[in-house]
């Protein structure tokens, strides 16, 4: 299959005139449609737009390669457009785009077309080729330019394979042998463009390079054991996990796949130098992609924390939604005013109890998972067991989320310390360290620290907070509502949040129902605000956050504040203040409107028993909107480079 087999004459426009990125995509989809490659035009268009929302396909140098792999595509195809005056396409280099290739890929196991598309991506790295395309006089000439370039490329590849290059070009005593691996999340364009760019810059510098590509069509040009052994340096330009153990003991440069495209010359120059770290696969370093530059302590802590949060998120989302369903079932089937023990709400009917049990079980894993994978990020697999244990102790005690977070970091660094302390043991005992010494001494250490240091500290904080709240309850109801609402967003299920919640539930027994109302509305705001912000300010959140964000509406309305934890953990200095302000305002308004609540949980599903329910809903709405707007103002735009 050739490139020209995918690109029909009627799908080429040499006089494109879009005024915006949106118009460009619309015109490109029309070009694709006329070739008969699509089953569902609108479905395909949605896929292209959704792909752009994850990260721009404007790769720089005046080129954009939008693409979509979808059930809406009947057969693989291409469409091309030349935009003489240029169009703003949010490109990585900020420059206008003049040449656009749209890719349509069917969602099938047959990936033969990907080889063709990878060749096109490589050709687009040639400035002369691109200029010829932009200056083509008609569609036939446009296709002829592509066909001729493809023929030359094929002859070059046939005449000299990668293995032959390594032998013949290595005769130059000044040349070095480089290897590279390129990979991106979807493996359609960036993977192959990075490979082509690295090959081009290495050749210009007089060196030999072989590039392994790990795209949607599988692994191509696999690096052999002998080639790895003979290599002077290895460049790993990838945004996804690749096998790294094979590079143990070799000089390795780790970078993003985008650097392989835009900074290939710099990478080759760096590979020429002697000051490149040697990769050690057995020294606690994980086989994942990291940025090569030195990272400061703050960045390292952030990465460890995000490892825990990313693994924790499925338990929060899955468990939280199941609990919300349990509340909904009881809310529809039970008259809450007739229930003596309000704490049983969500598990009164058998079906609700089933959902609550499953969701609660999932939720119970949240903190151990958080701590476990923070520890694993720091110390690899030996840290996992310590983190689980420390997180479980925190979850069953008083320290909650903050305690689990601290336990995760402590667990990881305990393993690091144990590695140093046992480094001089005889080699014969190396096998005992991960299966006996680390788990035995590590679990004992983390257990003692959490039980005797972390738990007492946060227990004391909780006691102090409850005492303070009780002393000021009669001073100013609005001020108390502001304080309680804000506290619910401080640590989202942690000791401060729990202190306010316990105070609210205790107030029910005393017949002080406005306090519980302020507490619950304050706890509902953070997830709802996160959900709203991910919809209103898409550029302030990662693609994963945008996908999971709307689910927080369900958790927020069910009074599950923990749904906001992953978002707060990723940017606490901006997210937490935004949430605290909105929650505090909602709590204060609830008090001012004299709203009451007799149930200790349930969110919107217990609104039928809320006093002044409409004003209560207004309080929630105002706080949610304020927090969402603050998130949009305070959070910085997120730049994601994906394929």
**Residues marked as catalytic:** 67, 184
User: Domains of the chain (ranges plus CATH)?
Assistant: 3-157 (3.40.930.10), 160-272 (3.40.50.2300)
* Exposed/middle/buried for residue 394 (C-beta within 10 Å: 0-12, 13-18, 19+): buried
SS (H, E, C) 303-315: HHHHHHHHHHHHH
pLDDT attached to residue 448: 96
Mean pLDDT of the chain: 81
Whole-number pLDDT of residue 294:
43
**92-134 residue pLDDT tens:** 778 899 999 998 888 776 554 566 667 777 788 788 888 999 9
Judge contact between 209 and 199, C-beta under 8 A: yes
Q: Whole-model pTM?
A: 0.46
pLDDT at position 259 = 81
Instruction: Convert 234-294 into a string of H (helix), E (strand) and C (coil).
Output: EEEEECCCCCCHHHCCCEEEEECHHHHHHCHHHHHHHHHCCCCCECCCCCCCCCCCCCCCC
User: pLDDT digits over 617-642, tens only?
Assistant: 999 999 999 999 999 999 888 765 44
Share of the chain above pLDDT 90, in %: 29
What are the Cα distances from residue 296, in Å, to 275, 304, 410?
19, 13, 19
Give me the pLDDT at residue 295, please: 46
CB 67 within 8 A of CB 105: yes
Q: How confident is the model at residue 536 (pLDDT cuts 50, 70, 90)?
A: very high
Strands 77-87 and 63-64: unpaired
Residue where the block lists tokens 């890719």: 103
pLDDT higher than threshold 80 for residue 290: no
CA distances from 303 to 174, 374, 577 (A): 40, 9, 22
Q: What is the mean pLDDT of residues 28-36?
A: 91
């Amino acid at each position: 299959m050739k490139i020209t087999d995918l690109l029909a004459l009627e799908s080429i426009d040499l006089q494109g005139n879009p005024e915006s990125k949106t118009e460009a995509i619309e015109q490109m989809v029309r070009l694709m449609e006329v070739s008969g490659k699509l089953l569902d035009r609108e479905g395909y268009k949605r896929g292209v737009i959704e792909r752009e929302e994850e990260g721009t396909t404007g790769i720089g140098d005046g080129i954009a390669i939008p693409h979509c792999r979808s059930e809406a595509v009947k057969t693989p195809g291409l469409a091309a457009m030349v935009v003489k005056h240029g169009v703003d396409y949010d490109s990585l280099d900020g420059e206008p785009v003049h040449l656009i290739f749209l890719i349509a890929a069917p969602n099938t196991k047959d990936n033969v077309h990907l080889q063709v598309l990878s060749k096109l991506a490589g050709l687009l790295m040639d400035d002369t080729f691109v200029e010829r395309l932009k200056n083509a006089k008609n569609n036939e000439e446009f296709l002829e330019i592509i066909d001729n370039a493809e023929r030359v490329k094929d002859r070059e590849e046939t005449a000299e394979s990668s293995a032959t290059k390594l032998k013949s070009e290595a005769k130059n005593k000044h040349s070095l042998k480089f290897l590279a691996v390129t990979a991106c999340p979807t493996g359609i364009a960036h993977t192959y463009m990075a490979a082509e760019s690295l090959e081009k810059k290495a050749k210009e510098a007089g060196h030999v390079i072989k590039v392994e590509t790990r795209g949607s069509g599988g692994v191509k040009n696999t690096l052999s054991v002998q080639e790895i052994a003979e290599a002077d340096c290895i460049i790993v330009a990838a945004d996804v996990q690749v096998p790294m153990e094979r590079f143990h003991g070799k000089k390795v440069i780790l970078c993003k796949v985008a650097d392989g495209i835009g900074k290939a010359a710099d990478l080759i120059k760096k590979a020429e130098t002697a000051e490149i770290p040697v990769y050690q696969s057995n020294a606690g370093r994980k086989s994942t992609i990291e940025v090569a530059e030195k990272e400061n302590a703050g960045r390292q802590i952030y990465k460890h924390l995000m490892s825990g949060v990313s693994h924790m998120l499925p338990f929060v989302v899955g468990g939280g939604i199941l609990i919300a369903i349990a509340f909904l079932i009881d809310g529809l089937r039970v008259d809450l005013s007739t229930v003596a023990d309000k704490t049983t709400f969500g598990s009164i009917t058998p079906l609700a109890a089933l959902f609550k049990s499953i969701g609660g079980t999932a939720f119970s894993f949240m903190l151990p998972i958080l701590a476990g994978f923070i520890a694993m990020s720091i110390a690899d697999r030996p840290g996992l067991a310590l983190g689980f244990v420390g997180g479980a102790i925190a979850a069953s005690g008083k320290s909650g989320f903050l305690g689990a977070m601290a336990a995760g970091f402590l667990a990881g660094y305990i393993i690091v310390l144990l590695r140093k302390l046992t480094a001089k043991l005889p080699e014969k005992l190396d096998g005992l360290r991960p299966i006996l010494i680390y788990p035995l001494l590590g679990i004992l250490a983390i257990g003692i620290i959490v039980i005797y240091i972390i738990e007492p500290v946060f227990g004391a904080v909780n006691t102090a907070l409850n005492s303070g709240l009780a002393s000021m309850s009669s001073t100013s109801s609005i001020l108390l509502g502001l304080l309680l609402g804000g506290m619910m967003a401080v640590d989202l299920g942690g000791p401060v949040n729990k202190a306010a919640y316990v105070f609210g539930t205790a107030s029910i027994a005393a017949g002080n129902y406005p306090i519980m109302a302020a507490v619950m509305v304050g706890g509902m705001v953070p997830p709802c605000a996160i959900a709203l912000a991910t919809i209103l300010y898409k550029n302030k959140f990662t693609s994963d956050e945008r996908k999971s964000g709307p689910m927080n509406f369900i958790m927020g309305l069910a009074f599950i504040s923990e749904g906001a934890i992953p978002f707060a953990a990723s940017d606490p200095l901006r997210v937490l203040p935004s949430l605290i302000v909105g929650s505090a305002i909602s709590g204060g308004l609830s008090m001012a409107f004299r709203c009451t609540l007799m149930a200790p949980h349930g969110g919107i599903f217990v609104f039928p028993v809320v006093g002044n329910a409409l004003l209560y809903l207004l309080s929630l709405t105002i706080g949610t909107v304020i927090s969402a707007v603050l998130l949009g103002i305070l959070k910085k735009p997120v730049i994601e480079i994906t394929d």
